[in-house]
């Protein structure tokens, strides 16, 4: 508790009265934020959920506005930016209460992509004191001719859930928007808010303006969460990802809770768990489903029912990682692998928004490796050791988009703009040469030939400043900006009558999903079984089906890879027999079997097993570095094994291990050579250049840089996702004729970071160099069982499939233990 005299200096009496009327006293970090603001300092506030974080972010602005007569205010005073539209709207509602009750003459309004045109127009003419919006709306403001006038009196910008924004292209774009705002309003303060931050310094560097320091303010630590493993009768399966074995216990836990959030990692798992829970739901509990493919109206309905306290549980994916507060949630259940400690803290924080009571959570491991992972995550959370993301280097395709936006707003001087861009954290080390290349990309497409001089999008005006070529260019830019890319989505609609006519829309699914389905095939979506009737244009037409064993192809893997921090914990836990004591008996026994039948290696070593099975030979390696890095590694290993004459046939990967099978034995392969670090040279480059991942990455960069447009003026929004030209054709031509083109460089970087995890693979190879422990076995090991179970399981995880899998699994286990 801060002392009262200091309080009164910081808080005007009507604020203090309001706190008192609520039966509260202002929290130390709330007052601290006011004090920092009055000293003109930027600040990052880290406070647990339920700690009055949002109010702390706005309190300095409210205090300042309370002392300003309305006529003295000109533009927006405080700009609030949230990663979610819904959050901006929710904060608008939450702010209105203190404003009203304190009796402040302050207006606060949200503005998102869903805000009506009339309100947006009015906001431009009569700016509210506090404007609540999203990064994309800020980018639009930056590309508006009126931006300088609108923001020149801006006093403060508040960035909420900052941990969810900074390490992405969206964050790059936002950082450039902030640089612009600081240029327009040099006195502007920046405030960042977050509940879960591993490394505050990374975020402070990201959000700071140039060398201006950002103060760190911490709220009180909340009560540590209570996290337990839910072990179904003490038995965890050897393999699998669905946690089907534990559903009865999960249901029971939901029944006993007030309100539960059941988190899963993929939409497939969400659909599966939802179905399984409803099979058990004899009490008819209101259990709902929420994931990114459901129609927005459907999701809004679930959120509203949740807010009204009408639901017992929601099965959800990362779509509910962030969001508005639901006071009633008292239990969080994580089904299957947690993947990383930070995400878990975020998810667990969705339960119990009171500081003094611990949040409660269950982890439900779906297999024995996941038991290790869940235990490791539990320890990380208890020690508050979160996984961090390094400071990003800003993407140049995003910079290209920003430069065009700046030119749409007003003519710019390139030296001044370079200096401004360098005040954005991710772009602080931007070289003048790269800036010039990016400016040329924006202006002419960046081609070595000067063919496009007459088609420039940017031209120099008589004063030597860069400006946009014409109004048409500006209009098209505003339609296409943003750094969020979504895959091509097809609408799922109920077929009407015998003819293929689309009716009510029930959601959206990625185009690729339907590659595997033929008309008549059944699948589960939005909690029901459907049969595919046909596909017309952008619509997938379905009919309700009653199939009890729907064909349910795997629906994308988890997009999250096991964090390196958690992976290290798992390796350490496995290598240290003394640490096994905390693990459940069945997992303990399994580790013991592995030691007896194969080998347990030290934390910094890597185990590789080779063994024959059927008419094939297998190589299984256990790097524990996440599925992405493993997939890249397996791809490169197969190339090497091919050259070595082993005739590899295929491979499979998960977060823990990878398995390659071949026609010829691999027992005599020199494993130190096989895993030598030089595979990251030519082998990687050769493979990457031809891979679909580069083409996909290139498409993303071409869209963000504005080389290819998603939308044309006057086109309906609906068809807007399709690009107007095949980027694969451009990729091929550029690669042949201008291999040093800037966008190829951007694509290479994106693919290396996001799709193949090249950095992590490099770390892995360096870590295990000279420490590969090769064990030649005459049959598979206990650890190898789950890997072999992964093979071929993709196609039919329905009920019949499960029976087959169970049978196959027991055979495999018997074989390992024979």
Partner 1 sequence: MNAVETLGLNPASDGSLELVLAGEAARLLSSGALLLEGYSALVVADLHLEKGSAFAGRGQLLPPLDTRETLRRLAADTAAVAPERIVFLGDAFHDHEASRRMSEDDRQVLEDLGRAAGLVWITGNHDPEPDGDLPGEAAEEVRLGGLILRHEPQPAPAPGEIAGHLHPCARIATPRGAVRRRCLVTDGERAILPAYGAFTGGLNVLDPAFAGLFARPPVVAALGDRRVHAAGARSLRPDRS
Q: Which is nearer to partner 1, 232 or 796 (CB)?
A: 796
As separate numbers, helices (DSSP H) first and strands (DSSP E) second, the chain gives: 30, 25
Minimum Å gap between C-beta 745 and partner 1 is 15
Options 383, 413, 488, 670; binder of partner 1; rule CB under 8 A: 488
Q: Which is nearer to partner 1, 629 or 702 (CB)?
A: 702
Options 153, 379, 414, 511; binder of partner 1; rule CB under 8 A: 511
- CA end-to-end span of the chain: 66
Distance, CA of 541 to CA of 502 (rounded, Å): 6
E strand intervals along 40-141: 42-46, 78-81, 108-111, 130-133
Q: Is 529:522 a contact under the CB 8 Å cutoff?
A: yes
Alpha helices in 257-411 (DSSP H): 267-280, 296-307, 341-348, 368-383, 396-409
Instruction: Note whether 730 binds partner 1 by CB under 8 A.
Output: yes
| Closest-CA residue to 756 (of 702, 701, 694, 699) | 694
Instruction: Note whether 447 binds partner 1 by CB under 8 A.
Output: yes
Options 4, 432, 689, 733; binder of partner 1; rule CB under 8 A: 733
Q: Is 427 left (phi over 0), alpha (psi -120 to 50) or beta?
A: alpha
Minimum Å gap between C-beta 418 and partner 1 is 22
DSSP-derived secondary structure letter, 772: E
Q: Which is nearer to partner 1, 24 or 725 (CB)?
A: 725
Interface with partner 1: number of residues (CB under 8 A): 35
Write out the DSSP string of 633-669: HHHHHHHHHHHTT--EEEEEE-SS-EEEEESS--TTS
Segment interacting with partner 1 (CB under 8 A) among 247-255, 326-334, 674-682, 729-737? 729-737
Minimum Å gap between C-beta 439 and partner 1 is 13
| Closest-CA residue to 84 (of 114, 52, 105, 123) | 114
* Burial of residue 367, with CB atoms counted within 10 A of its CB: 0-12 exposed, 13-18 middle, 19 or more buried: buried
Options 112, 342, 438, 473; binder of partner 1; rule CB under 8 A: 473
For partner 1, what does the binding mask look like between residues 204 and 243, x meaning CB under 8 A?
----------------------------------------
Gyration radius of the chain over CA positions: 28
Options 416, 451, 766, 800; binder of partner 1; rule CB under 8 A: 451
E strand intervals along 170-213: 189-194
Segment interacting with partner 1 (CB under 8 A) among 383-391, 402-410, 429-437, 731-739? 731-739
Options 304, 416, 452, 759; binder of partner 1; rule CB under 8 A: 452
Instruction: Note whether 732 binds partner 1 by CB under 8 A.
Output: yes
Count of CB atoms situated within 10 Å of the CB of 209: 22
Tokens of 130: 């506090």
Segment interacting with partner 1 (CB under 8 A) among 272-280, 510-518, 570-578, 642-650? 510-518
Minimum Å gap between C-beta 412 and partner 1 is 19
Minimum Å gap between C-beta 709 and partner 1 is 6
Options 71, 211, 282, 515; binder of partner 1; rule CB under 8 A: 515
183 phi/psi in degrees, rounded to 5: -70, -35
Of 532-551, binders to partner 1 (CB under 8 A) are: 535, 537-538
Minimum Å gap between C-beta 147 and partner 1 is 22
Minimum Å gap between C-beta 452 and partner 1 is 5
| Closest-CA residue to 53 (of 206, 195, 174, 181) | 195
Options 397, 709, 750, 809; binder of partner 1; rule CB under 8 A: 709
Options 347, 353, 457, 760; binder of partner 1; rule CB under 8 A: 457
Distance, CA of 563 to CA of 557 (rounded, Å): 16
Q: String of b and e for 616-655 (b: at least 16 CB within 10 Å)?
A: ebbbbbbbbbbbbbbbbbbbbbbbbbeebebebeebbbbb
Options 734, 756, 768, 788; binder of partner 1; rule CB under 8 A: 734
Count of CB atoms situated within 10 Å of the CB of 308: 10
H or E element at residue 761: helix 758-768
Q: Which is nearer to partner 1, 24 or 455 (CB)?
A: 455
Q: Which is nearer to partner 1, 729 or 818 (CB)?
A: 729
Minimum Å gap between C-beta 692 and partner 1 is 11
Instruction: Note whether 738 binds partner 1 by CB under 8 A.
Output: yes
Distance, CA of 649 to CA of 88 (rounded, Å): 52
DSSP-derived secondary structure letter, 714: T
For 37, half-sphere exposure in the C-beta direction (CA atoms, 13 angstrom radius) is 28
Minimum Å gap between C-beta 427 and partner 1 is 23
Segment interacting with partner 1 (CB under 8 A) among 30-38, 368-376, 617-625, 722-730? 722-730
Minimum Å gap between C-beta 801 and partner 1 is 16
Segment interacting with partner 1 (CB under 8 A) among 346-354, 401-409, 576-584, 723-731? 723-731
Options 72, 125, 729, 818; binder of partner 1; rule CB under 8 A: 729
Distance, CA of 94 to CA of 216 (rounded, Å): 25
Options 449, 689, 766, 803; binder of partner 1; rule CB under 8 A: 449
Q: Which is nearer to partner 1, 537 or 716 (CB)?
A: 537
Q: Which is nearer to partner 1, 415 or 733 (CB)?
A: 733
Instruction: Note whether 445 binds partner 1 by CB under 8 A.
Output: yes
Instruction: Note whether 405 binds partner 1 by CB under 8 A.
Output: no
Minimum Å gap between C-beta 21 and partner 1 is 57
| Closest-CA residue to 143 (of 432, 397, 467, 447) | 467
Minimum Å gap between C-beta 687 and partner 1 is 15
Distance, CA of 757 to CA of 425 (rounded, Å): 23
Minimum Å gap between C-beta 794 and partner 1 is 12
Options 398, 606, 707, 756; binder of partner 1; rule CB under 8 A: 707
DSSP-derived 3-state class of residue 350: coil
Segment interacting with partner 1 (CB under 8 A) among 244-252, 359-367, 444-452, 522-530? 444-452
Q: Which is nearer to partner 1, 146 or 487 (CB)?
A: 487
Q: Is 296:351 a contact under the CB 8 Å cutoff?
A: no
Minimum Å gap between C-beta 722 and partner 1 is 7
Write out the DSSP string of 108-125: EEEE-TTS-HHHHHHHHH
Options 14, 559, 737, 771; binder of partner 1; rule CB under 8 A: 737
* Burial of residue 509, with CB atoms counted within 10 A of its CB: 0-12 exposed, 13-18 middle, 19 or more buried: buried
Minimum Å gap between C-beta 693 and partner 1 is 15
Instruction: Note whether 514 binds partner 1 by CB under 8 A.
Output: yes
Residues within the interface to partner 1 (CB under 8 A): 444-445, 447, 449, 451-452, 455, 457, 472-473, 476, 488, 490, 511, 514-515, 535, 537-538, 707-709, 722, 724-726, 729-730, 732-734, 736-738, 741
């Amino acid at each position: 508790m801060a002392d009262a005299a200091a309080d009164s200096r910081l808080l005007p009496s009507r604020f203090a009265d309001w706190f008192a009327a609520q039966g509260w006293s202002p929290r130390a970090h709330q007052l601290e934020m006011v004090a920092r603001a009055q000293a003109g300092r930027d600040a990052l506030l880290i406070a647990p959920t339920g700690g009055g974080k949002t109010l702390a972010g706005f309190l300095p602005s409210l205090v300042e506005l309370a002392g300003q007569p309305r006529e003295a205010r000109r533009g927006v005073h405080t700009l609030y930016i949230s990663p979610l539209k819904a959050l901006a709207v929710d904060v608008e509602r939450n702010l209105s209460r203190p404003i009203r009750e304190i009796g402040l003459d302050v207006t606060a309004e949200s503005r998102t992509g869903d805000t009506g045109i009339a309100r947006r127009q009015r906001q431009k003419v009569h700016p509210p004191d506090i404007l609540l919006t999203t990064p994309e709306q800020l980018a639009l403001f930056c590309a508006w001719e009126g931006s300088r006038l609108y923001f020149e009196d801006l006093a403060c910008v508040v960035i909420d859930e900052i941990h969810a924004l900074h390490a992405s292209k969206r964050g790059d774009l936002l950082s450039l928007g902030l640089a612009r705002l600081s240029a327009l309003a040099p006195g502007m303060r920046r405030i960042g808010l977050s509940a879960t931050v591993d490394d505050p310094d990374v975020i402070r560097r990201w959000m700071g303006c140039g060398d201006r320091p950002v103060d760190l303010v911490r709220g009180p630590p909340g009560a540590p969460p209570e996290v337990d493993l839910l072990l179904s009768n003490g038995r965890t399966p050897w393999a699998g990802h669905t946690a089907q074995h534990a559903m009865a216990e999960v249901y029971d836990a939901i029944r006993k809770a007030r309100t539960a959030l059941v988190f899963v990692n993929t939409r497939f798992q969400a659909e599966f768990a939802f179905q399984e829970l409803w099979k058990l739901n004899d009490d008819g509990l209101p259990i709902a489903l929420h994931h990114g493919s459901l129609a927005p109206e459907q999701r809004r309905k679930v959120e509203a029912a949740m807010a009204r306290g009408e639901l017992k549980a929601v099965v959800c994916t990362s779509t509910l990682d962030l969001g508005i507060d639901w006071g009633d949630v008292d239990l969080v259940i994580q089904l299957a692998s947690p993947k990383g400690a930070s995400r878990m803290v975020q998810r667990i924080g969705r339960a119990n928004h009171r500081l003094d009571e611990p949040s409660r959570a269950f982890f439900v491991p779906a297999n024995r490796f996941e038991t290790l992972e869940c235990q490791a995550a539990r320890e990380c959370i208890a020690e508050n050791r979160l996984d961090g993301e390094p400071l990003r280097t800003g993407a140049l395709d995003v910079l290209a988009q920003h430069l065009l936006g700046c030119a749409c707003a007003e003519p710019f001087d390139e030296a001044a703009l370079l200096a401004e861009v360098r005040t954005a954290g991710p772009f602080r080390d931007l070289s003048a040469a790269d800036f010039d290349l990016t400016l040329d990309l924006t202006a002419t497409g960046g081609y070595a030939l000067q063919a496009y001089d007459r088609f420039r999008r940017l031209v120099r005006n008589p004063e030597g400043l860069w400006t946009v070529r014409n109004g048409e260019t500006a209009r098209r830019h505003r339609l296409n900006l943003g750094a969020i890319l979504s895959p091509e989505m097809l609408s799922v609609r109920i077929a009407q009558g015998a003819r293929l006519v689309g009716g009510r829309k029930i959601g959206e699914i990625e185009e690729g999903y339907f590659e595997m389905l033929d008309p008549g095939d059944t699948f589960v979506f939005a909690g029901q079984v459907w049969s595919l009737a046909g596909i017309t244009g952008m619509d997938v037409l379905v009919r309700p089906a009653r199939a009890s064993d729907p064909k349910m192809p795997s629906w994308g893997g988890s997009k999250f890879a096991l964090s390196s921090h958690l992976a290290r914990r798992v390796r350490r836990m496995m290598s240290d027999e003394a640490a096994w004591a905390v693990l459940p008996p069945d997992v303990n026994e399994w580790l013991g079997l592995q030691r007896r039948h194969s080998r347990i290696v030290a934390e910094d070593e890597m185990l590789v097993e080779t063994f024959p099975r059927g008419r094939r030979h297998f190589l299984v390696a256990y790097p524990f570095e996440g599925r992405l890095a493993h997939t890249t590694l397996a791809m490169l290993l197969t190339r090497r094994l091919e050259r070595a004459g082993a005739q590899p046939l295929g491979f499979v990967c998960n977060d823990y291990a990878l398995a390659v099978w071949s026609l010829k034995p691999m027992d005599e392969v020199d494993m130190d050579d096989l895993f030598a670090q030089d595979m990251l040279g030519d082998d990687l480059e050769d493979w990457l250049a031809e891979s679909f991942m580069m083409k996909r990455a290139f498409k993303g960069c071409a869209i963000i840089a504005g080389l290819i447009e998603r939308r044309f003026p006057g086109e309906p929004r609906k068809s807007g996702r399709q690009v107007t030209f095949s980027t694969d054709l451009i990729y091929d031509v550029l690669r042949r004729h201008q291999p040093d083109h800037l966008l190829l460089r951007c694509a290479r970087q994106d693919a290396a970071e996001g799709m193949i995890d090249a950095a992590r693979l490099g770390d892995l190879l360096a870590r295990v160099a000279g420490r590969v422990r090769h064990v030649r076995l005459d049959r598979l090991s206990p650890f190898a069982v789950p890997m072999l179970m992964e093979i071929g399981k993709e196609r039919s995880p329905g009920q019949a499939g499960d029976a087959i899998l169970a049978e196959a699994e027991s055979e495999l286990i018997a074989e390992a233990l024979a």
